[in-house]
Amino acid sequence: MKVSDFDYDLPAERVAEVPAEPRDSARLLVHDVASGRTEHATVRDLPSFLASGDLLVVNDTRVRAARLLGFRASGGAVELLLVEREASGRWRALVKPAGRLKPGEEVVLEDGALLARMHARGEDGEWRVELLSAARREPATDAELERHGRMPLPPYLHRPRGDDPRRELDRASYQTLFARSLGAVAAPTAGLHFTPALVDALAARGVERATVTLHVGEGTFRPVEVDDTDAHAMHSEAYELSEATAAAARAARARRGRVVAVGTTSARTLETCALPDGSVEARAGATRLFIVPPRKFQVVDVLLTNFHLPRSTLLMLVSAFAGRERTLALYREAIERGYRFYSYGDAMLLVGERR
């Protein structure tokens, strides 16, 4: 398919700069794929759209404070996004401006708390960087990075380089209630809507919960740069689906409950581990699964998801679940009704056909 088939126009004022408060007060567009019926509710109404015996699957990845700002010795501003720590202890990092730095150069970060020693730039454009504690001149610990780093917000969320009260708010706002396993460079945003009260209400409804881990990678920030979806190389992301979650999915199938994926990351993990009978098996590794129409879902029956960027792989995944034309029509309706879009925006619940 053409990437342009997944384009749409979004007024700038529809991009949410901050999340709804409380989280579960965000609006929820509910669409039944089989009947074509659409309802408008709030996320706190989610229990009324699910049933006892359904299985809610959430992503427990935790976002690393991986965005670091600093200056070269010449005074030029530098920005780093730490992607992954390699076995050597060095980091793969996206760097701006990437082309001006030199191997061996040191960049002072976050008011002198950290240092980045540049080693080499790969063919993929990423740098290999040694991240040091400025005070100890030793490798920075996760605790130091979490203390001094910033949330790696998407570029459409505008934050100044200097002090901003939203910086500390983002530390809490850009983590889900389920965040446990440190390693993502972006939040699984559908999970941002959950509150303890909503979790309790779902449990009282008889909805069970299981977790997967998918560490959202830097590819989520990168646009699709080809014209045809067949030519797109999906980024690799580390995932884990435990035996406990596999057993929970089997039990849900046995009792005719539905598997409800919270977000595209949970959906990709479940579909990566899919078995022919619609259940999943426990696995861990790296997935490059690219879900685009006309691919059919094997495991996910219901999808809770935010509204995604035009031409993005996330929008393509949603289109595979509900159909491209239907998805774009729902997006148009959401825009007309004033829904808020993207990471801090409102949500959509897509109910698939019963298996």
pLDDT tens, residue by residue, 226-282: 999 999 989 899 999 999 999 999 999 999 999 999 999 999 999 999 998 889 999
Please report how the helices 313-322 and 324-336 are oriented relative to each other, as an axis angle in degrees rounded to 10.
110
What is the rounded average pLDDT of the residues 42-61? 98
Q: Are residues 143 and 88 in the same domain?
A: yes
Do 206 and 327 fall within a single domain? yes
Task: Provide the residue type at 201 as one letter.
Answer: A
Indicate whether 200 and 78 sit together in one domain: no
Q: How many CB atoms neighbour CB 190 within 10 A?
A: 26
Instruction: Give 275-316 pLDDT, tens digit per residue.
Output: 988 899 999 999 999 999 999 999 999 999 999 999 999 999
Confidence label for 158 from pLDDT (cuts 50, 70 and 90):
confident
Q: Is the peptide bond before 97 cis (omega within 30 degrees of 0)?
A: yes
In this structure, which amino acid lies at residue 191?
G
Counting the structural domains of the chain, the total is: 2
Compute, in degrees rounded to 10, the torsion defined by CA atoms 221, 225, 230, 234.
-30
Token digits of residue 8: 């749409």
**Are 183 and 265 contained in the same domain?**
yes
Dihedral of the alpha carbons of 185, 188, 192, 193, in degrees to the nearest 10? 170
Q: 298 in a domain, yes or no?
A: yes
Considering the domain architecture, whether residues 90 and 47 belong to the same structural domain is answered as: no
**Is 166 inside a domain boundary?**
no
User: Taking residues 160-185, what's their average pLDDT?
Assistant: 86
Residues 119 and 244 in one domain: no
Q: Between the CA atoms of 220, 224, 230 and 231, what dihedral angle is there, to the nearest 10 degrees?
A: -110
Q: Name the pTM for this structure.
A: 0.94
Q: Beta strands 237-241 and 208-214: pairing type?
A: antiparallel
Q: How far apart are CA 2 and CA 226, in angstroms?
A: 9
> Residue 270 is part of a domain; what is its CATH number?
3.40.1780.10
Within a domain: residue 290? yes
- Two structure tokens written together for 116: 């980045």
**200 in the same domain as 81:** no
* Domain membership flag for residue 307: yes
Token reading at 178: 């389920």
When the pLDDT of each residue in the chain is averaged and rounded to a whole number, the result is 94
Same domain, 259 and 346: yes
Q: Is residue 109 part of a domain?
A: yes
Same domain, 118 and 181: no
Is 196 in the same domain as 303? Answer: yes
Domain extent, residue 84, equals: 67-149
3-state DSSP assignment of residue 90: coil
The domain boundary, picked from 149, 166, 190, lies at 149
Residue 157 falls inside a structural domain: no
Domain identity same for 271 and 323: yes
Residue 104, amino acid: G
87 or 331, higher pLDDT: 331
Q: Are strands 208-214 and 77-85 parallel, antiparallel or unpaired?
A: unpaired
- The answer to whether position 181 is within a domain reads yes
> Which pair of structure tokens corresponds to residue 31?
């669409």
- Based on the fold, state whether residues 85 and 59 are members of the same structural domain: no
Q: What is the average pLDDT across 85-98?
A: 91
3-class DSSP assignment, residue 147: helix
pLDDT class of 168 with cuts at 50, 70, 90:
confident
